[in-house]
């Protein structure tokens, strides 16, 4: 691809911007822990078709939820940072809505991740893109610089004590009173459930400690159980579809990657 021929990408016209702001930029009570629902997906399909595509990827419910949540929690013009965003679709829309947006991603291609740093930098000039791993050691940004730090389908790919390192960075770069907002892919039933459960508990523990440094370790089990039981009983819980699973599976034989119930866990914390 000829990089010099790339044109900036914009997703919203002026009428769309004003419609989204009028509908979603209303202060809303925080949902510390929640999960994606079909109701929210349908609302997004109606009002945010730019990021709610009908092709079975779980990001189709996560991306619009994140945009709507930021509109309700962060005043227009606020400073936002996305961790590991890859293609800056969400960042681009948030920038178009009037936010100051930074994206941090290494663009190294690990785990079939993106490598198109130069391309995206040209296509999204309204987004500041930093080619690096997110960490508390980033020198390109200042401490307490952001009103919100968020991620979509990133934290579940980080394991063990590495979560603490990520959250040291969130704590360092988020201003007092800022929001930490994340969508996390989670296997609720099927192959890998136990490992996903333990990993999610570590993520949620780090997240909850942003708000309450004294949050007790033993309480995470009961909080997780409440959330897990609620989503399993809720007829409106949004699950990754069979078609979505087929796309995720790629060339891996089905016996090595059988179908699982995958949900999106959502967390929004005010520091």
Indicate the pTM of the whole model.
0.94
**Mean of the pLDDT values across residues 173-177?**
97
**Mean of the pLDDT values across residues 161-165?**
88
**Mean of the pLDDT values across residues 140-163?**
93
pLDDT greater than 80 at residue 111: no
Q: Is residue 205 part of a domain?
A: yes
Q: Is residue 177 part of a domain?
A: yes
Q: Is residue 116 part of a domain?
A: no
pLDDT at position 3, please? 53
Q: Is residue 22 part of a domain?
A: no
Who has greater pLDDT, 110 or 32?
32
Structural domains in the chain (count): 1
Please state the separation of Cα 151 from the chain's center in Å.
3
Q: Is residue 234 part of a domain?
A: yes
pLDDT band at 120 (very low <50, low <70, confident <90, very high): very high
Cα gap 46→108, rounded to integer Å: 35
3-state secondary structure the chain: CCHHHCCCCCCCCHHHHHHHHHHHCCCCCCCCEEECEHHHHHHHHHHCCCCCCCCCCCHHHHHHHHHHHHHHHCCCCCEEEEECCCCCHHHHHHHHCCCEEEEEECCCCHHHCCCCHHHHHHHCCCCEEEECCCCCCCCCCCCCCEEEEEEECCHHHCCCCHHHHHHHHHHHHEEEEEEEEEEEEEEEECCCHHHHHHHHHHHHHHHHHHHCCCCCCCHHHHHHHHHHHHHHHCCCECCCCHHHHHHHHCCCCHHHCCCCEEEEEEEEEEC
pLDDT tens, residue by residue, 60-107: 999 999 999 999 999 999 999 999 988 899 999 999 999 999 999 998
pLDDT at position 1, please? 46
pLDDT at position 4, please? 55
pLDDT band at 108 (very low <50, low <70, confident <90, very high): confident
Q: Strands of 128-131's sheet, edge to edge?
A: 33-35, 261-270, 174-189, 146-152, 79-83, 100-105, 128-131
pLDDT tens, residue by residue, 213-269: 999 999 999 999 999 999 999 999 999 999 999 988 889 999 999 999 999 999 999
Q: Nearest to residue 123, comparing CAs of 2, 8, 1?
A: 8
Q: Which residues lie across from 163 on neighbouring strands?
A: none
pLDDT greater than 50 at residue 172: yes
pLDDT at position 115, please? 83
pLDDT at position 23, please? 97
User: Containing domain of residue 178, as a range?
Assistant: 38-74+138-249+258-270
Cα gap 250→120, rounded to integer Å: 25
Q: Is residue 20 part of a domain?
A: no
pLDDT tens, residue by residue, 16-69: 999 999 999 999 888 899 999 999 999 999 999 999 987 788 999 999 999 999
CA distances from 194 to 148, 189, 191, 205 (A): 31, 9, 8, 17
Q: Is residue 216 part of a domain?
A: yes
Q: Is residue 6 part of a domain?
A: no
pLDDT greater than 80 at residue 126: yes
Who has greater pLDDT, 6 or 147?
147
């Amino acid at each position: 691809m000829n990089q010099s021929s790339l044109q900036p990408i914009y997703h919203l016209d002026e009428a769309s911007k004003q419609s989204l702001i009028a509908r979603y930029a209303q202060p809303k009570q925080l949902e510390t822990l929640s999960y994606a629902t079909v109701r929210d997906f349908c609302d997004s399909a109606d009002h945010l078709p730019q990021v709610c595509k009908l092709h079975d990827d779980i990001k189709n419910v996560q991306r619009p939820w994140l945009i709507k949540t930021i509109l309700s929690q962060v005043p227009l013009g606020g400073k936002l940072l996305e961790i590991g965003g890859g293609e800056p679709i969400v960042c681009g829309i948030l920038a178009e809505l009037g936010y100051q947006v930074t994206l941090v991603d290494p663009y190294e291609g690990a785990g079939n991740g993106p490598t198109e740093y130069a391309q995206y930098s040209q296509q999204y000039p309204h987004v500041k893109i930093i080619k690096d791993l997110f960490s508390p050691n980033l020198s390109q940004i200042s401490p307490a610089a952001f009103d919100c730090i968020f991620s979509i389908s990133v934290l579940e790919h980080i394991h063990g004590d590495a979560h603490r390192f990520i959250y040291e960075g969130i704590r360092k770069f988020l201003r007092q009173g800022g929001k930490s907002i994340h969508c996390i892919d989670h296997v609720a039933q099927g192959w890998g459930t136990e490992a996903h459960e333990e990993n999610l508990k570590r993520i949620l523990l780090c997240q909850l400690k942003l708000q309450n440094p004294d949050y007790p370790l033993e309480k995470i089990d009961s909080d997780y159980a409440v959330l897990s039981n609620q989503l399993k009983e809720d007829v409106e819980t949004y699950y990754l579809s069979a078609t979505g699973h087929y796309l995720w599976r790629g060339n891996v034989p089905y016996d090595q990657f059988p179908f699982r119930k995958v949900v999106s866990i959502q967390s929004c914390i005010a520091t």
